[in-house]
Amino acid sequence: MGTKLAVLAGLLLAGCSGAAQDDLDSARHLWTSARPTAYETVVRRSCYCANVDPYRVQVDGAAVTSAVRLSPDGVETPIDPADYPSWFTVEGLFTVVQDAIDQHVDRLETQYDDRLGHPLHIAIDPHAGTSDDETTYEVARLDAL
């Protein structure tokens, strides 16, 4: 992944929200100009929550058209459209980052794709002194359809 990625990383500690916002704004601008009309992605949210399996998601425009959970044993479980979280789309992931910036979380790490601008890695720790409140989002791949 090394040469394909540009780390526009935003490491948000006290006083660094300007850099994180600049990185997010740059990534959004790149995504707006380079995004495919439709795409498929594999995304995972890791946290202290019930399900941390990755999802394969298809998006047309800004709407999720299908999603399946990918279990470690190879079983693909379709997700009901009523249960699609907002972070299934690139725009939803951008919102996750913006919310973290707006909430002045203790730690925010971001990495964006250098060609399309979409998030590749988002790590959020709202309160450094609190255990088990961290959340990480990983985009394993994003392909135009």
pLDDT of residue 56: 98
Q: Average pLDDT, stretch 130-135?
A: 90
Confidence at 102, pLDDT banded by 50, 70, 90: very high
Q: Quick check: is 88 in a domain? A: yes
Place of tokens 């090394």: 2
Q: Is 2 within the bounds of a domain?
A: no
Q: Which helix (H) or strand (E) holds 31?
A: helix 17-34
| Longest pairwise C-alpha distance within the chain | 44
pLDDT confidence of residue 16: 56
Rounded to an integer, what distance in angstroms lies between the CA atom of residue 75 and that of residue 67? Answer: 13
Asked, for residue 82, whether it belongs to a domain, the answer is yes
> 128 lies in which domain range?
7-144
How, if at all, do strands 119-125 and 76-78 pair? unpaired
For the whole model, what pTM was predicted? Answer: 0.86
Q: Domain count of the chain?
A: 1
Q: Is residue 1 part of a domain?
A: no
CA distance 105 to 138: 19
The pLDDT-based confidence of 49 (bands split at 50, 70, 90) is: confident
Q: pLDDT band for 1, please (50, 70, 90 cuts).
A: very low
